[in-house]
Amino acid sequence: MTNTIKRNRARKKLLRKKQQETFCKNKKLDNLISILFFLGLILLIWEIYIFRATVIDWKIPTFICLIPPIFLTPIFFNKLNEIDPSIYFHSKYKAVHYLLHYFLHFVIVGGILCFIFMATNFYFADNQTTDKRFEIIEKGQFNSRSRDNWVRIDYGGQEKELVFPNSYEKEVDNAKFVSFEVQKGFLGFDIFKNKKLE
């Protein structure tokens, strides 16, 4: 009887030790995922500013962000649930949880890949610049809190919006043309700098 009690205590002690080791391991992975998530968010925001200065079809960066999570979500679904099982096992809606996983991959993988693509084209652009001038075909203002202004031009058959701060509202209203310096991006997509309203 005494030996049985001792064996049970030893088993419980061993089980607690394994659970603690698993918890520590999962905690580290959970922290890593959190760091990557916030990194992905920052890079996505950074990528938006690069996109505004790049002549590129919006479908390309969108494709880069949306497609990888479609494949990664089912592959890592169970593994991520093992890292933090409390989220999954207390959820009655597996579909909602699946969408949360997709969003996680969208921010981490999609955000990082999209930033690498856009930043490579932008920061490794050709040093040679060309001055260009375009007629403004449309003007507007974003409905966001910043109330930034935008002007639309026809850049070689592709419409492109150029964004100006809210403080440029009068200049945007009076402008008929916009000029800027153009550089050939590393991946072939033109980028523009030093934009001026005329």
| Boundaries of every domain in the chain | 2-123, 129-197
The pLDDT value given to residue 23: 46
> DSSP state, 142?
-
Tens of pLDDT, residue by residue, the chain (198 residues)? 555 655 555 555 554 545 444 445 567 777 888 888 899 999 999 999 999 899 999 999 999 999 988 888 777 777 766 665 555 555 566 677 778 888 888 998 999 999 999 999 999 999 899 999 999 899 888 776 777 888 899 988 888 888 888 888 888 888 899 999 999 999 999 999 888 888
The pLDDT value given to residue 22: 47
Please name which of 61, 62, 53 lies closest in space to residue 185, comparing C-alpha atoms: 53
> DSSP state, 143?
S
Global pTM reads 0.76
User: Over the range 45-77, which residues count as b (16 or more CB within 10 Å of their CB) and which as e?
Assistant: eebeebbebbbbeeebbeebbeebbeebbeebb
> DSSP state, 166?
G
Question: Going edge to edge, which strands form the sheet with 138-141?
Answer: 138-141, 149-155, 158-164
C-alpha to C-alpha distance for 26 and 70, rounded to whole angstroms: 24
Query: What CATH code would you report for 129-197?
Result: 2.40.50
Please name which of 16, 115, 23 lies closest in space to residue 65, comparing C-alpha atoms: 115
